[in-house]
Every structure is written in C-alpha cells, then in structure tokens.
Amino acid sequence: MAKKKQSNTVKTVAIGAAFAAVAGYVTGLLTAPKSGKETRQDIKDTANKGVTNAEKELKRLHTELTDLLGDVKDKSSDVSDKTAKELANLADKAKTAKEKAREVLSALHEGDAEDKELQKAIDEANKAVDHIRKYLKK
C-alpha cells in the first residue's frame, strides 16, 4: 500500500512539475522581446512537441498492453478458476484501455483529439499496465 501511495505521489509531483515547466516556458515566451508572430510560432511548436510526446507515450503503452495481454493469456491456463476469472477481468479492462488508446491515436492523426481525451487514455492505459504487472508478479 505504501508503494502505491508513493508511486501516485511521484506521478503527481512529476505531472505538477511538467505543468509548472510549461507555464514557466509560456510566461517566458510571452514576456520575451520577440515579435508576436515569433511568439505564436514558439507556442505552437511547444504545443506540438507536447502532443508528439503524449502520442509516443500512448503508443508505448498500447504496445505494452498488447504484450501483457499475451502474458495474461499464457498464464490463465495455469491457474485456478477463481484466478482465471480475475485474470479475465483484468484482461477485459486492459483490452478496453488498449482500444481507447487506439481510438485516441487515430483521432490525433485526424486532428480530432482533445487534451482531456489524450490524458484520460494515457491514465487508463497506465492503470491497466500497473494492474496486470502487479497481478502477474503474484
């Protein structure tokens, strides 16, 4: 329980630091002695870089979920009925997260994805990966 709480705290701090860095960067851009056109281009470039990084993370999670679902399938034949049901439940949640990740990636390529959807897909995929990893370690 302490590890989970520590892990969540680390993630929260990392997310907070990332937002603070972005806010500081934008503030610096807006107060820098550049033309409006240059400043807008810098902001656009930074936003695109953030989306690109999020897309890479989502692709990585999608691939990892695919691999872990294969591990779950392999392990499910070697366990009791109760454990197999739990694994099946985890696999269903992971498949849902994987599908959501795929949908958001498609929306990103079409230019229809929103930041909320992207962050939610990343969060769900991370949770699914964490749950499966923990269960497979048992």
Q: pLDDT digit string (tens) for 76-89?
A: 766 777 777 887 88
> HSE of 78 in the Cβ direction (CA atoms, 13 Å)?
6
Contact 106, 92 (CB under 8 A): no
The whole-number pLDDT of residue 118 equals: 80
Three state DSSP letters for 46-97: HHHHHHHHHHHHHHHHHHHHHHHHHHHHHHHCCCCHHHHHHHHHHHHHHHHH
- Measure the CA–CA gap between 120 and 126, rounded to whole angstroms: 10
Run of H or E including 128: helix 115-137
> HSE of 116 in the Cβ direction (CA atoms, 13 Å)?
0
The whole-number pLDDT of residue 85 equals: 81
Q: pLDDT digit string (tens) for 98-138?
A: 888 888 888 877 877 777 888 888 888 888 888 888 877 76
- Measure the CA–CA gap between 84 and 72, rounded to whole angstroms: 9
Q: Provide the residue type at 42 as one letter.
A: D
Q: pLDDT digit string (tens) for 11-48?
A: 677 677 777 778 887 777 667 676 778 777 777 777 77
Q: Provide the residue type at 22 as one letter.
A: V
The whole-number pLDDT of residue 4 equals: 56
State yes or no: pLDDT of 2 exceeds 70.
no
